C-alpha cells in the first residue's frame, strides 16, 4: 500500500509483518538493501515450502522404497495451506483497497479511530496466540519424523516462519471485515439524526455497497479456496486415518490435532463475514426505526421517503455481505455450521474413540 498517507493508517500485526519480511523504508532510502532483503525473504519462504514438501523424504532418509504417495500428497496439501497466507497478504496490500477502507472509518472522528485502534490491538494479540499454538502444534506433530540434529535446525525455523504468516493473514482478513462492520455502523449512527436526509443516506449506502464489492473481489477466490481445502482435508484425513493409511501405530492425538487445526481455520474464515452480515442487518433495523419514530397516535401522513428507504435497504440486505463459495455468510448460517461441526466432534468423542480403545 503505497498510497498517500498510508504510513498513518491503522494496521493490525504491523510489527509482526515486519518481522516476517514486509519491512520497507518509508523515506525511499536503502533501495538496494531493501531489494536484497526482499529477495532473501522470497528465497527463505520458498525454502520453507520445499522443506515441508521434502518432509517424508527426510524422514525415510531419501529411501524411495519407503516413501508413500499418499504422504507426498498430504505434504502438497500442507504446502497449499501455507502458500495462501503469503500470497494473499502480498496481493491484498499491493492491489487491494486497504488504505482507502480504513481511512474512511478512522477519519470519521477520534472516537472511531480509537475503536479501530482497540480492535487492531485485539487482532494483533490473537495473531500472537495463534502463532504460538500453530508453531507448537506442527513442531509436536512433526518431531517424530526427525532423527538428526540438522532436521531440527531446518524445520524449527521453517515451522515458526510459516506459522507466523498463517496467523497474521487470518487477523488481516478478520480486521478488514471488522472495518466494514464499523463502516456500516457509522451510517447507522448518522441515520439516527433526523437532519440526515434519505437521499444522503442512500448515497452512503451506495458507497458501502461499492466498498463491499471491492473487498469481495479481493477475498472471494483465496478465502473460498482455503475454506474448501480445510473442509476437504477434514474428510480425506479422517478416511485416511480410519483406513490405517498412516499405519496402525499412528497416534490418535495426531489425528485430533490436525482436525482441530482445520476446524480453527474454518471458524476464523466464517466469523468475519458473519460480523459484516450482522452490521448490514442493523442498517435495515435502523431504517425501520426511522419510520416508527415518525408515527404517533396523531400522525395523519405516512413518511413515504423513509418507508421507501427502508424497503430498498431490506431488499438489498442480501447483497450487503461477503460470500464464500458463492454463499453469503450470515450469523445464522455460521452458527448452523459450527453447531454441525460441534455435534460431529461430540459424537466422535462419545462413540468412536471408545471403540478404538477396545
- Cβ atoms 317, 288 nearer than 8 A: no
Residues 36-70: pLDDT tens digits?
A: 888 888 888 888 888 877 776 776 666 666 666 66
Q: Cell 474464515 maps to which residue?
A: 269
Mean per-residue pLDDT, 222-233: 78
Supply the pLDDT for residue 121.
93
H helix runs in the chain, sequence order = 14-20, 31-53, 55-59, 69-95, 98-106, 110-142, 149-191, 198-242, 252-293, 304-316, 331-347, 353-357
- Residue 310 burial (10 A CB sphere; 0-12, 13-18, 19+): buried
Between 246 and 329, the more confident residue is 329
The answer, yes or no, to whether residue 347 has pLDDT greater than 50, is yes
Supply the pLDDT for residue 125.
94
Supply the pLDDT for residue 25.
67
Residues 95-150: pLDDT tens digits?
A: 778 888 888 888 888 888 899 999 999 999 999 998 998 888 888 877 777 777 88
The answer, yes or no, to whether residue 286 has pLDDT greater than 50, is yes
Backbone phi, then psi, for 61, in 5-degree steps?
Answer: 65, 30
What is the residue-wise DSSP string for 54-79?
THHHHHTTT-GGG--HHHHHHHHHHH
What is the spatial distance between Cα 108 and Cα 77, in angstroms, rounded to a whole number?
43
pLDDT band at 182 (very low <50, low <70, confident <90, very high): very high
- Cβ atoms 173, 66 nearer than 8 A: no
pLDDT band at 300 (very low <50, low <70, confident <90, very high): low
Q: Is the pTM of this model over 0.75?
A: yes
Q: Is the dihedral of CA 73, 76, 82, 87 positive or negative?
A: negative
The answer, yes or no, to whether residue 7 has pLDDT greater than 90, is no
Q: Give the number of other Cβ atoms within 10 Å of residue 39's Cβ.
A: 10
Q: Cell 435497504 maps to which residue?
A: 313
Q: Which of 15-19, 210-214, 233-237, 275-279 has the lowest mean pLDDT?
A: 233-237
Supply the pLDDT for residue 4.
39
Supply the pLDDT for residue 2.
45
Which of 3-17, 113-127, 219-233, 311-325 has maximum average pLDDT? 113-127
What is the spatial distance between Cα 20 and Cα 93, in angstroms, rounded to a whole number?
15
What is the spatial distance between Cα 266 and Cα 229, in angstroms, rounded to a whole number?
10
Question: Which region holds residue 28: left if phi is over 0, alpha if psi is between -120 and 50, else beta?
Answer: left
Closest CA to 219 of 183, 163, 186, 180: 180
| Percentage above 90 pLDDT, the chain | 7
- Cβ atoms 23, 37 nearer than 8 A: yes
What is the spatial distance between Cα 72 and Cα 217, in angstroms, rounded to a whole number?
33
Supply the pLDDT for residue 1.
45
Q: Cell 490491538 maps to which residue?
A: 121
- Cβ atoms 161, 20 nearer than 8 A: yes
Q: Across all residues in the chain, what is the average pLDDT? A: 79
Q: Cell 471458524 maps to which residue?
A: 267
Q: Measured in Å, how far apart are the chain's first and last C-alpha atoms?
A: 58
- Give every CB contact of residue 200 below 8 A, 6+ residues apart in sequence: 190
3-state secondary structure 42-60: HHHHHHHHHHHHCHHHHHC
Task: State the DSSP code for 8.
Answer: G
Supply the pLDDT for residue 247.
64
In order of 60, 101, 105, 217, 321, the CA distances from 184 in angstroms are 55, 12, 9, 19, 11
Mean per-residue pLDDT, 80-102: 82
Amino acid at each position: 500500500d503505497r498510497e498517500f498517507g498510508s504510513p498513518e493508517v491503522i494496521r493490525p500485526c504491523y510489527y509482526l509483518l515486519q518481522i516476517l519480511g514486509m519491512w520497507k523504508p518509508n523515506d525511499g532510502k536503502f533501495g538496494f538493501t531493501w531489494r536484497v532483503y526482499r529477495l532473501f525473504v522470497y528465497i527463505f519462504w520458498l525454502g520453507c515450502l520445499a522443506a515441508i514438501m521434502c518432509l517424508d523424504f527426510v524422514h525415510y532418509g531419501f529411501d524411495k522404497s519407503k516413501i508413500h504417495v499418499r504422504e507426498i500428497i498430504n505434504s502438497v496439501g500442507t504446502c497449499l495451506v501455507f502458500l495462501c497466507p503469503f500470497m494473499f497478504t502480498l496481493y491484498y496490500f499491493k492491489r487491494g483497497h486497504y488504505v482507502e477502507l480504513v481511512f474512511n472509518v478512522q477519519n470519521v472522528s477520534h472516537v472511531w479511530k480509537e475503536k479501530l485502534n482497540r480492535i487492531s490491538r485485539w487482532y494483533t494479540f490473537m495473531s500472537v496466540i495463534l502463532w504460538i499454538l500453530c508453531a507448537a502444534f506442527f513442531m509436536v506433530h512433526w518431531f517424530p519424523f526427525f532423527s538428526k540434529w540438522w532436521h531440527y535446525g531446518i524445520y524449527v525455523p521453517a515451522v515458526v516462519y510459516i506459522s507466523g504468516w498463517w496467523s497474521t493473514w487470518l487477523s488481516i482478513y478478520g480486521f478488514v471485515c471488522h472495518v466494514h462492520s464499523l463502516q456500516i455502523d457509522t451510517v447507522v449512527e448518522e441515520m439516527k439524526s433526523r437532519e440526515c436526509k434519505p437521499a444522503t443516506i442512500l448515497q452512503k449506502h451506495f458507497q458501502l455497497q461499492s466498498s463491499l464489492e471491492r473487498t469481495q473481489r479481493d477475498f472471494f477466490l483465496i478465502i473460498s479456496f482455503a475454506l474448501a481445502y480445510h473442509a476437504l482435508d477434514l474428510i480425506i484425513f479422517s478416511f485416511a486415518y480410519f483406513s490405517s493409511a498412516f499405519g496402525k501405530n499412528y497416534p490418535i492425538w495426531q489425528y485430533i490435532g490436525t482436525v482441530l487445526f482445520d476446524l480453527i481455520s474454518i471458524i476464523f474464515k466464517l466469523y468475519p463475514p458473519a460480523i459484516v452480515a450482522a452490521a448490514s442487518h442493523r442498517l435495515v433495523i435502523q431504517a425501520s426505526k426511522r419510520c416508527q419514530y415518525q408515527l404517533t397516535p396523531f400522525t395523519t401522513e405516512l413518511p413515504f421517503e423513509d418507508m421507501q428507504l427502508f424497503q430498498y435497504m431490506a431488499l438489498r440486505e442480501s447483497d450487503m455481505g461477503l460470500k464464500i463459495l458463492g454463499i453469503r455468510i450470515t450469523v445464522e448460517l455460521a452458527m448452523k455450521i459450527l453447531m454441525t461441526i460441534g455435534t460431529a466432534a461430540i459424537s466422535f468423542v462419545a462413540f468412536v474413540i471408545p471403540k478404538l480403545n477396545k
